[in-house]
Structure 1
Amino acid sequence: MRVLVTGLGDIACKAYLPILAALPELDVHLATRDPQVLRDAGRMFRVPHLHANIEQALATATFDAAFVHSATSAHATSVQLLLEQRIPTFVDKPLADNLAQVQQLVGLAERQATLLMVGFNRRFAPDYAALRDTGASLILMEKHRDKQPDTPRRVVFDDFIHIIDTLLFLAPSPVKRRTIETHVEHGLLKAVTLMLAGDGYTAIGTMHRDSGLDEERLDMIGNGVRQSVQDMAKTIRSAGTECRRRRGDWTSVGRQRGFEAMCADFLLAVREQRPTVATDILSTHALCEAVTAHADAQSRD
């Protein structure tokens, strides 16, 4: 399978290329506009096929799939170009930083009958995936940052989106009610809380951008049990007594954080010619747009 990887920044080099370059069944090609970054990545991951941009790559070879890891602002252009060529495409979250553009790209993927997948690794993180369908009636997720207030759209679409998508993934039934609270100072989003509710459950996600510490925690509570995951590396199960387990010494970060399983699922989906799961993509980005609109309105008040 010939695969194009475009955008060779931090996330591509830390999370994706170590996985993709190690798969013997893949013929990996790299593309980026920075020649030094391109050469360095080629040497680091022993990839001989280097291209100055997507256009050059597409003019040189045909591809069975593509991974887009460029900056968020470049996602839409790259994804559109690949989908127009009917190349199954994986893109880092968010697909775009506004719902209108997301809807356009999902619509294009459906018209082209071409797979489009957005990289929500927490759906594939083993400790998170194991908590799905546990019957919890209360889902709590926190993801905090230290000294990082930013514009609402950037915070929500680039970071809080993880909380939104994880809550939707873990919710045992459709969302019927939602509540949004945001704290904006001088145009910068400092804190956000989202509550979703449906039949028999409540899911709450919260983020503070000036919390004093970068941390993430997920709690699933119900049926006499509290199951917690801290920083996707340590699990705690409480049911009268407490049992703790941390990531195994030989378990890679890529496996623990879901990147290995996510890449494998996308490549299998390409081989099986699966369709785009439009509902998941649209639901997550629609909630992002709603949270952003709430923060923007507060900023104007």
Structure 2
Amino acid sequence: MKVGCVGLGDIAVKAYLPVLTALPDVELHLTTRTPATLATVADRHHVPPARRHPDLESLIAAGIDAAFVHASTAAHPELVARLLEAGVPTYTDKPLAYELADSTRLVELAERTGSGLAVGFNRRHAPAYAQCAQQPRDLILMQKNRVGLPQTPRLLVLDDFIHVVDTLRFLAPGAIDQVTVRARTEGGLVHHVVLQLGGDGFTAVGVMNRLSGSTEEVLEVAGRDSKRQVLNLADVVDHKGQPTTRRRGDWVPVARQRGIEQAVLAFLGAVSAGTAPSARDALATHELCERIVLAIGENTA
């Protein structure tokens, strides 16, 4: 399978290329707008000159079967649209776009062309989180905190908090019919945001504090006198009477721990089977994020 990688920044180099280059049936093609970066990354991964492309049109002309887009979010609408129009199944980092109208247009384009589109919500595939979907989940709590990083509402929500939003949606055991947003802002920058989702018999709460004392991610699901806690996508603590801790194995790759390897394999497996991946559910996460951005804006006003 010929697979193209568009954009060779940190997320591509650290997370996705190690997975793609380890797959024996993948013929990897690379493109980025910076020639020096293209040469350096291609040399490191032993990608021959014939599979190094100066632009997207050259990549498409190579007859790729699928593409991974790891360019800047601002470039997603143009790059993803061109790939879909060319009939190339495409996997792109989250978010699809900063504006909901652009995200909607891309999902509709994928459905219209039948090309297939997937969004990189890797936490759905992370083993510790995926296992939580099998737990009783009357109450779901998730925190994703940073140190010294207040940010404008749209960038904070679409670049980072979106992972919390999507994880809560993924783990919600039923339809969500209540949405509440609270935030603290100062000078147009968000210091923290709290999202509460509710449905029949469950509550899900997501928190992001950009002025926290540490960088951390904590997920808890609880119900029926049991609780499971996941720390930084690695360590799992089960509480049922006495707590028991299960730590990530020393040799487990980070890409597997964070669900990136599984997301890649799921996408390529669907493409190989001739099944067009759908981003329709991912769009629902983007729609909820837009509600959060607007709610923060109202709070700021």
Q: Into which bin does the TM-score normalised by the smaller protein fall?
A: over 0.9
Q: Return the letter of the residue paired with 2:54.
A: A
Q: Return the letter of the residue paired with 2:36.
A: Q
Q: Which moved more, 1:290-299 or 1:111-120?
A: 290-299
Distance 2:247 2:55 in 1: 41
- Cα deviation digits, residues 204-245 of structure 1 (max 9, x gap): 000000112110000001111110000011110011101011
**Are the counterparts in 1 of residues 119 and 279 from structure 2 also a CA contact under 8 Å?**
no
Q: Return the letter of the residue paired with 1:200.
A: G
Alignment of 1:94-133 (within 5 A): 94-133=95-134
Normalising by structure 1, what TM-score?
Answer: 0.97
- Cα deviation digits, residues 117-146 of structure 1 (max 9, x gap): 000010000000001032210000000010
Tell me which residue corresponds to 2:278: 277
Q: Return the letter of the residue paired with 2:106.
A: L
Q: Are positions 1:171 and 2:172 aligned together? A: yes
Q: What's the offset of the Cα at 1:297?
A: 2.2
Distance 2:125 2:241 in 1: 29
**Are the counterparts in 2 of residues 110 and 276 from structure 1 also a CA contact under 8 Å?**
no
Tell me which residue corresponds to 1:10: 10
Q: Are positions 1:30 and 2:30 aligned together? A: yes
Q: What's the offset of the Cα at 1:24?
A: 1.1
**Are the counterparts in 1 of residues 107 and 280 from structure 2 also a CA contact under 8 Å?**
no
Q: What's the offset of the Cα at 1:174?
A: 1.0
**Are the counterparts in 2 of residues 145 and 214 from structure 1 also a CA contact under 8 Å?**
yes
**Are the counterparts in 2 of residues 21 and 47 from structure 1 also a CA contact under 8 Å?**
no
Q: CA RMSD in A?
A: 0.9
- Cα deviation digits, residues 91-129 of structure 1 (max 9, x gap): 000011111111100000000011100000100000000
Tell me which residue corresponds to 1:218: 219
Alignment of 1:84-233 (within 5 A): 84-233=85-234
Secondary structure (helix, strand or coil) at the match of 1:25 reads coil
- Cα deviation digits, residues 40-91 of structure 1 (max 9, x gap): 11011111111112122223x1110000000110111110000000100000
Q: Return the letter of the residue paired with 1:132.
A: A
Distance 2:218 2:126 in 1: 13
Distance 2:79 2:137 in 1: 40
Q: What's the offset of the Cα at 1:271?
A: 1.3
Tell me which residue corresponds to 1:50: 52
Secondary structure (helix, strand or coil) at the match of 2:149 reads coil
Q: What's the offset of the Cα at 1:182?
A: 1.4
Tell me which residue corresponds to 2:245: 244
Q: What's the offset of the Cα at 1:280?
A: 1.0
Secondary structure (helix, strand or coil) at the match of 1:130 reads helix
Distance 2:52 2:129 in 1: 36
Q: Which structure 2 segments of 5+ residues have no match?
A: none
Q: Return the letter of the residue paired with 1:7.
A: G
Q: Which structure 1 segments of 5+ residues have no match?
A: none
Q: Return the letter of the residue paired with 2:55.
A: N
**Are the counterparts in 1 of residues 137 and 222 from structure 2 also a CA contact under 8 Å?**
yes
**Are the counterparts in 1 of residues 89 and 276 from structure 2 also a CA contact under 8 Å?**
no
Secondary structure (helix, strand or coil) at the match of 1:238 reads strand
Q: What's the offset of the Cα at 1:298?
A: 2.4
Number of equivalenced pairs: 299
Q: Are positions 1:62 and 2:63 aligned together? A: yes
Distance 1:26 1:2 in 2: 6
Normalising by structure 2, what TM-score?
Answer: 0.97
Tell me which residue corresponds to 1:295: 296
Distance 1:244 1:276 in 2: 36
Q: Which moved more, 1:290-299 or 1:71-80?
A: 290-299
**Are the counterparts in 2 of residues 109 and 276 from structure 1 also a CA contact under 8 Å?**
no
